[in-house]
Amino acid sequence: MYVTMNARALMNFLSLRTSREGSHFPSYPQREIEMVAEKMEAEFARLMPLTHGAFEKSGRIAP
């Protein structure tokens, strides 16, 4: 699967499609899409660690 998006769009996707403790806006995604989002987030953290850190620090809200 190939997906293209900018960091802002990815953070918005992750905030809606992952369920995490401590996020400002709780999300309740279906497990199948959450599994995809978890893999995307792992790559996001690997490729853009500073941006991912800011995303986590802000309560998983895209700026």
d(CA 59, CA 1): 28
Catalytic residue, from 8, 17, 31, 46: name it. 17
User: What is the span of the domain harbouring residue 12?
Assistant: 7-57
pLDDT at 45: 98
**Is 20 an active-site residue?**
no
> pLDDT tens, position by position, for the chain (63 residues)?
788 999 999 999 999 999 988 788 888 999 999 999 999 999 999 999 999 999 999 999 887
Tell me whether residue 63 is in a domain.
no
pLDDT at 6: 96
Tell me whether residue 62 is in a domain.
no
The model scores a pTM over 0.75: yes
pLDDT at 23: 83
pLDDT at 20: 85
Tell me whether residue 2 is in a domain.
no
Query: Is residue 53 classed exposed, middle or buried when 0-12, 13-18 and 19+ CB atoms within 10 A define those classes?
Result: exposed
Tell me whether residue 1 is in a domain.
no
